[in-house]
Amino acid sequence: MPDTTRLLHLLDPERAHVAAVRLLAGWAATGAPMRPRVPNLPVRVAGLDFANPVGLAAGVDKDARAIPGWFALGFGMVEVGTLTPLPQAGNPKPRLFRLSEDGAVINRMGFNNGGQAAGIARAAAAKRTGVLGINVGANKDASDRVADYVTGVTAAARVADYVTINISSPNTPGLRDLQEGTALRDLLAACLGAKGKTPLFLKVAPDLSPAQIDDIARAAIDGGVDALIMGNTTISRPALASRHKGETGGLSGAPLRELARARLVDFRRATGGALPLIAAGGIDTGAEAYARIRAGASLVQVYSAMVYGGPGLPAYILRELDALLRRDGFACVADAIGADNG
């Protein structure tokens, strides 16, 4: 664990998270050279050109405060948010827990953010050197959640390279119901009408049955979604060692790895390769990123691994990924996508 990361771990988890984002934003603002020398691993997804397939997942920089800094660490894409139409405080504290013994995190943040107007304005003003995504959600007390998503997609599409609609958080009551049947189709139809020419991504949970996976895949393909992010945190609980293992909320990090892998394979089968997939959950090495790509992911995203790997993690993942691609004779990332699953 890097020294800076060790120091941050002396703080309460949420205070450490806020401090880390502020430090990175401040460092980037100085103009000091930061970007590591990393392999160029271009990949094209949804009509967008990514310098490499490793991205920062939504939830790390909810309010779009450190976009240049994240790109400077080597990420090929940065996804900020989740942003809701109105600012909201989120759930009561404490709501973020490190499970250090397990390499995991449990959170029940509840879409805490300063609102779309402020976050999107910061995103518009930020210098970007890669692909920028904005992740949008509904306010907890919204009377019409579909309307909230349409508001978010409309505003974010003017600024972002792609917009993600997040219906996978377990920390807003009833939100995951939007993954079901008619509710999902109505949501997609409304959001696709609001996005203009900006690609629209859909982020879904790993806690899905085979029937739900098949239904989501069909709805996404028929509805014209440009890519599917699989997935978010899980409400399931594998064996854990930390004293925080009983906390409610979404579990992420290393213990999510097997479930996230399995669901990626499920969605690859359900979509038949017709829809680009983005893998998230338990990705902390180049080897794991490579395994997800071979399983069908076009891109990967990291979140909890940054808590333990620190700012050098993106470069480490990219170097290892590059070595594995070359070892196996792949000329580019695209050639490896789905190599293990057809």
Contact 51, 42 (CB under 8 A): yes
Partners of 301 in the β-ladder: 55, 280
Q: Record the tokens describing residue 255, joined without a space.
A: 């213990």
Phi, psi (degrees; rounded to nearest 5) at 167: -120, 25
Amino acid at 100: S
The SS3 call for residue 279 is: strand
Judge whether 242 counts as a catalytic residue.
no
User: Minimal CA–CA distance to 231: which of 197, 195, 258, 207?
Assistant: 207
Amino acid at 174: G
Would strands 227-230 and 277-280 be described as parallel, antiparallel, or unpaired?
A: parallel
Phi, psi (degrees; rounded to nearest 5) at 181: 40, -125
Q: Kindly name the residue from 169, 252, 298, 304 that is annotated as catalytic.
A: 169
Instruction: Give the active site residues.
Output: 169
